[in-house]
Chain A
Amino acid sequence: MEFLGEVLAWYVDPHQWTGRQTLGGEIGGTLLLAALSLAVALLIAMPIGLYIGHTGRGAQAAVSIANIGRAVPSLGWMGIAYPITTALFARAGHGLMPSVIALALLGIPPIVTNTYAGLREVDPDLHEAGRGVGMTEGQLLWRVEVPVALPVIMAGIRSSAVAIVATTPLMSLIGADTLGDYIIAGLNLNDTVRVFAAALLVVVAALATEALFAWLERRATSPGLRARAADAAAGGPFNAEPAGAAG
Chain B
Amino acid sequence: MKAQPAVPSAPTGATSTTGAVVALEHVTKRYGRGDAAPAVNDLSLTIGAGEICVLVGPSGCGKTTTMKMINRLIEPTSGRITIAGEDVGVLPRVELRRRIGYVIQQVGLFPHMTVADNVAIVPRLLRWPAARITSRVEELLELVGLDPAGYGGRYPSALSGGERQRVGVARALAADPPVMLMDEPFGAVDPIRRERLQNEFLRLQEKVRKTVIFVTHDVDEAIKMADRIAILQRGGVLAQYDTPDAILGSPASEFVERFVGADRGLKRLSLGRVRDLQLTQPVVVRPGDSRSDARRRMTEDATGFALLLDAADRPLGWIDERDLRGDGPIDPESAIPGAPTVQPETTLRDALSTMLLSSVQLGVVVDERERVLGVVSVDDLSEALRGGDGATPSARGGPQA
Chain A directly contacts chain B within the complex, with at least one CB pair under 8 Å: no
